[in-house]
Amino acid sequence: MKKTLTICILLTICWMGTLSAQVQHFTWQNVQREYLVRTPANHDGLLPVMFFLHGLGDNITRCDQEFNFGQIAEDFGWAIVVPQARNLGMGTMWNVGMTNSDVDDAGFLLALLDSLTAQYQLDPDSVFFTGFSMGGFLTHRMAIEHGDRITACAPVSGLIYNAQASLTPVAPVRMLHIHGTNDNVVGYNGYSSAFGMTLGLGVDAIMDYWQNTNGCTGEPAIDTLPDLKNDGLRFIRYTYNCGTDLQHLKVVGGTHTWYDDQYDVDYKNVIYEFFTGRSAPSGIPDRKTGQLRVWPNPTNGNLNIQLPDSDSPAQNIKVFDVYGKVVDVVETQRAASLQTVQINLSRYPDGVYFVQAGNSAVTKVVVAR
């Protein structure tokens, strides 16, 4: 599945039938805007919500058809919101500062979130944004201008536009940036050979920008994801040592493409794992079940851990550093009910660690004194 966009392409496909009937409307700046919402058939409690922002010239019904957001909503157990960009002269496009338009797309997205929260029982503390190409540009802009309301962002093949590069983000934000090194539409170095112009900061500068924002120190942990398919690509993950999660997935040989399960890495899965905190460098287990509650986080050393239910007589608490090395193991005895234990991480240097008890999901912990 590829979504390759050039300046001369304007997608005008309109899908009919039940799909079109699901398009909803919301008035913003005296203009009726369109969007789609997909939710799981059955759920209890508040729903995490993920906004997907499409690329230049695209439309929400085509995206819904190709991405199958209904199935993603079921698989994630989340609400998926797909808003439609307006036609700003070069087809449907988000206002990221490239035109003189006064369309306030960032305000539209927040107002839409507010209007949907009660209707769909959305969790205001679990709000996620991802987007492709120009949608990736707007994802960065949302993180910069409204990161205090966003849990995490994952722009794909989109940059920080020059107009935003001088801005100070309102808050640190968990960020995963995904980009192919052979992208000729939105170049890895910021230059677009398709458009014949520089579109924004290059990826290296973007990562520097977010390192400064998220309080990162030292060099990132680097691991190459398994290369099992003959796809001609290498997926290299950079995990930075930050107070707020920061990762870059560098797709060596990757073009202006959203890669799916035909490739070694399915973007939607790696984004979901990052959003849920299950993504970690090689050597750290990241596909476990169950919940693990830890506090305070960040910690000055003393960490409380509430163990998940388990049928095993004992649960080993493992602590990993950012390189996947086990630095500590603490054994606890099986309790009749939820059990809280305390471990002391003060003997370790300040930085990022990962904690797992039994088969629970891995939880990131920041030690800062």
Going from the C-alpha of 241 to that of each of 153, 232, 349, 352, the distances in angstroms are: 17, 30, 12, 6
Q: What is the DSSP string of 288-318?
A: --S--EEESSSBSSEEEEEEPP-SSSEEEEE
Omega before 349 within 30 of 0, i.e. cis: no
Tokens of 141: 């802009």
pLDDT at 90: 83
Per domain, the residue ranges of the chain are 18-275, 293-367
pLDDT at 313: 58
Omega before 298 within 30 of 0, i.e. cis: yes
Residue with tokens 């290299």: 236
pTM, 2 dp: 0.79
> In which element (H, E) is residue 137 found?
helix 134-146
CATH fold group of domain 18-275: Rossmann fold (3.40.50)
pLDDT at 308: 66
Residue with tokens 């500068």: 205
Contact 245/152 with Cβ under 8 angstroms?
yes
Sign, CA dihedral 109-111-112-118, equals positive
Contact 93/289 with Cβ under 8 angstroms?
no
In single-letter form, the type of residue at position 327 comes to V
The torsion region of residue 348 among left (phi > 0), alpha (psi -120 to 50) and beta comes to beta
DSSP β-bridge partners for residue 49 = 79, 127
Contact 154/178 with Cβ under 8 angstroms?
yes
- Any residues with CB less than 8 A from the CB of 294 and at least 6 apart, and which? 303, 304, 305, 306, 355, 363, 365
Query: Comparing C-alpha atoms, which of 181, 248, 253 is closest to residue 210?
Result: 248
CATH fold group of domain 293-367: Immunoglobulin-like (2.60.40)
Per-residue pLDDT 10s for the chain (369 aa) are 444 333 232 222 222 223 333 899 999 999 999 999 999 988 878 899 999 999 999 999 999 999 999 999 999 999 999 999 999 888 999 999 888 889 999 999 999 999 999 999 999 999 999 999 999 999 999 999 999 999 999 999 999 998 899 999 999 999 999 999 999 999 999 999 999 999 999 999 999 999 999 999 989 999 999 899 999 999 999 999 988 999 999 999 999 999 999 999 999 999 999 998 767 676 776 545 566 778 887 788 888 888 766 555 567 888 988 777 888 888 876 555 567 888 899 888 888 888 888 777 778 888 877
Sign, CA dihedral 307-311-314-317, equals negative
